[in-house]
């Protein structure tokens, strides 16, 4: 079965290319010329009823194969019986206690900490692994702050694919441990993520490796968009909608490079183009105050190509990006949906980890907790109304960065091994 891709369009100049005509970016715009994947929506509408997708027994991203840019037979055969087949279809949990605390009525948390390698990045890496096999690539490579790398290494291991990973020296240990355990060739770059990214592009070109890099490989958004399908499908189920898909009013998304928010926007645009949802949710991008170039650009009305590299730092390592690679798609996602960008401090991010964990049982790494911290801010600022249906995207597990979590939680009580001391400790609490 072939896929329904029409071609690729440059997000800067609008030039269109046939599949196979260009590999990654618009040749006129070099590394910045990230492409958008175009689909034959008319044909999909004729051939695919929404119920056919939503009644699929496949509880993974592959239930949406007719809307994905991969060879469906190849994807199915790789996914069959492997970890690759368990990417996606993460739960959408109602969070009534958190909602009540914020004065909201309808709040859900989409829990992507439960992906096979414990972050949202599995959605994109899954597509990368299939694309690499379509090309017959011997080696796949990526640069990453950690999670994209762990996702690529883990899913490559699932199907026996060689891979080379570039991560900044500062990546949290758990993420590096995943890479090593999965057998990736790991290069710790003595520099920033931005430097690791440029080095990886150079190496991929020099050695002919298949390149998974975010906002360079146009197909990564196509993996990430599956979360939007799932949210709308699960919300329809949760609210007893007559339709197969129902859009929420607002989605809060943590933003570093901007590929996730761009991907969610793409998924929603697909559903809208197919007339499977009747309105576009507002997308609220959340950045750490120490790494908030997209908030700045949004406030100042700048376009993605006018942005300059800034120095960036935050406890939320997965959303630290001095020049967000997918800035064009990330700004469009917010502007075209009437959403907003908000910044949250590292203190707010750390406080959000136990708040989310205790409020609904979802254990998030700092970057993921930032989305909840952003919701708190957004409610304060009146960006989200009390009656609205709100979804917070939890993008990665707290187990990814235990050291940061402990900064927020403090230390446990210590007792001698006798009941008297337990009484003393409990009384002091």
Identified binder of ligand PLP from the candidate list 391, 395, 405, 408, rule CB under 6 A: 395
Q: Smaller CB distance to Zn ion: residue 150 or 331?
A: 331
Sequence-distant (≥ 6) Cβ neighbours of residue 247 within 8 angstroms? 232, 235, 268, 271, 277, 278, 279, 280, 281
Q: Which is nearer to ligand PLP, 237 or 323 (CB)?
A: 323
Q: How far is residue 399 from each of residues 76, 93, 173, 405, measured CA to CA in Å? A: 30, 19, 11, 8
One of 29, 31, 76, 407 touching Zn ion (CB under 5 A):
29
Position 10 contacts Zn ion (CB under 5 A)? yes
Cα-only R_g, the chain? 21
DSSP string computed for 67-98? GSSS-HHHHHHHHTTSGGGG-S---EEE-HHH
Min. distance of Cβ 44 from Zn ion in angstroms?
A: 26
Q: Choose the stretch contacting ligand PLP; rule: CB under 6 A; options: 57-65, 157-165, 338-346, 360-368.
A: 360-368
C-beta closer to ligand PLP: residue 85 or 254: 254
Q: How far is the CB of 260 from ligand PLP (least distance, A)?
A: 4
DSSP letters spanning 107-125: EEEEEGGGSTTSBTTHHHH
* Closest by CA position to 289, among listed 340, 329, 349: 349
Angle formed by the axes of helices 293-300 and 327-336, nearest 10°: 50
Q: Is 287 in the site for ligand PLP (CB under 6 A)?
A: no
3-state secondary structure of 57: coil
> Which of 129, 156, 288, 319 is the binder for ligand PLP (CB under 6 A)?
319
User: Judged by CB under 6 A, which of 50, 258, 359, 398 binds ligand PLP?
Assistant: 258
Residue nearest to ligand PLP (CB): 396
Coil, strand or helix: which one is 390? strand
Position 254 contacts ligand PLP (CB under 6 A): yes
Q: Which are the contacts of 135, defined by CB distance < 8 A and separation ≥ 6?
A: 210
Pick what 168 binds: Zn ion, ligand PLP, none; C-beta below 5 to 8 Å, kind-dependent: none
Q: Contact letters (x/-) for Zn ion, 173-192, by CB under 5 A?
A: --------------------
Q: Name the binder of 401 from Zn ion, ligand PLP, none, CB < 5-8 A by kind.
A: none
What does 147 bind: Zn ion, ligand PLP, none (CB cut-off 5 to 8 Å by kind)? ligand PLP
| Nearest-approach distance from CB 144 to ligand PLP, in angstroms | 8
Q: Which does 260 bind (CB under 5 to 8 A by kind): ligand PLP, Zn ion, none?
A: ligand PLP
Residue 255 as a binder of ligand PLP (CB under 6 A): the answer is: yes
- Does residue 147 interact with ligand PLP by CB under 6 A? yes
Give the residue ranges of DSSP H helices in 239-394. 259-273, 293-300, 327-336, 346-360, 366-380
Examine residue 293 and tell whether it contacts ligand PLP (CB under 6 A): no
How many residues bind ligand PLP (CB under 6 A)? The answer is: 19
Q: Is 60 in the site for ligand PLP (CB under 6 A)?
A: no
Q: Which of 92, 167, 268, 367 binds ligand PLP (CB under 6 A)?
A: 367
Q: CA 26 to CA 17: how far, in whole Å?
A: 8
Residue 284: closest CA among 276, 294, 275, 273: 294
Separation between Cα atoms, residue 62 and residue 318, nearest integer Å:
26
Instruction: Give the x-and-dash track for 206-225 against ligand PLP (CB under 6 A).
Output: --------x-----------
CA torsion 260-263-269-271 (nearest 10°) is -100
Q: Binding to Zn ion (CB under 5 A): which residues in 33-52?
A: 33
The interface partner of residue 189, options being ligand PLP, Zn ion, none and the CB cut-off 5 to 8 Å by kind, is none
In which order are the strands placed within the sheet that holds 250-254? Answer: 92-94, 106-111, 389-394, 250-254, 282-288, 340-344
In the complex, the residues that contact Zn ion under the rule CB under 5 A are 10, 12-13, 15, 26, 28-29, 33
- Chain residues binding ligand PLP by CB under 6 A are 119-121, 147, 214, 254-260, 318-319, 365, 367-368, 395-396
């Amino acid at each position: 079965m072939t896929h329904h891709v029409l071609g690729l369009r440059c997000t800067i100049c609008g030039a269109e290319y046939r599949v196979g005509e260009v590999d990654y970016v618009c040749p006129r715009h070099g590394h910045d010329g990230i492409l958008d994947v175009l689909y034959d929506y008319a044909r999909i509408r004729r051939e695919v009823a929404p119920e056919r997708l939503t009644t699929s027994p496949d509880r993974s991203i592959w239930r949406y194969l007719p809307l994905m840019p991969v060879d469906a037979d190849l994807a199915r055969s790789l996914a069959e019986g492997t970890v690759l087949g368990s990417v996606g279809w993460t739960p959408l949990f109602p969070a009534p206690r958190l909602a009540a605390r914020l004065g909201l009525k309808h709040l859900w948390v989409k829990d992507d900490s439960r992906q096979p390698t414990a972050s949202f990045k599995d959605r994109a890496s899954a597509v990368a692994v299939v694309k690499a096999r379509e090309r017959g690539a011997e080696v796949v490579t990526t640069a990453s702050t950690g999670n994209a790398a762990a996702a690529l290494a883990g899913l490559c291991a699932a199907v026996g694919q060689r891979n080379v990973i570039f991560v900044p020296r500062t990546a949290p240990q758990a993420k590096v441990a995943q890479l090593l355990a999965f057998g990736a060739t790991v290069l710790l770059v003595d520099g920033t993520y931005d430097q690791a990214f440029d080095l990886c592009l150079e190496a991929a070109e020099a050695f002919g490796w298949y390149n998974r890099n975010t906002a360079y490989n146009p197909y990564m958004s196509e993996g990430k968009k599956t979360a939007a399908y799932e949210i709308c499908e699960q919300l329809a189920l949760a609210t007893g909608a007559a339709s197969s898909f129902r859009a929420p009013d607002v989605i809060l998304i943590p933003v570093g490079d901007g590929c996730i928010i761009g991907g969610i926007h793409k998924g929603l645009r697909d559903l809208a183009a197919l007339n499977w949802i009747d309105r576009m949710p507002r997308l609220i991008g959340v950045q750490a105050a120490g790494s908030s170039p997209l908030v700045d650009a949004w406030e100042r009305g700048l376009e993605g190509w006018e942005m300059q590299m800034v120095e960036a730092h935050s406890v939320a390592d997965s959303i630290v990006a001095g020049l967000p690679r997918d800035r064009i798609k990330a700004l469009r996602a917010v502007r075209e949906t009437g959403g907003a960008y908000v910044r949250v401090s590292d203190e707010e991010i750390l406080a959000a980890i136990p708040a989310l964990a205790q409020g609904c049982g979802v254990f998030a790494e700092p970057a993921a907790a930032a989305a909840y911290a952003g919701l708190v801010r957004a409610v304060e600022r009146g960006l989200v109304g009390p009656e609205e249906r709100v979804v917070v995207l939890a993008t990665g597990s707290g187990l990814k960065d235990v050291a940061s979590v402990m900064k927020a939680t403090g230390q446990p009580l210590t007792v001698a091994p006798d009941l008297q001391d337990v009484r003393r400790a409990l009384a002091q609490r």
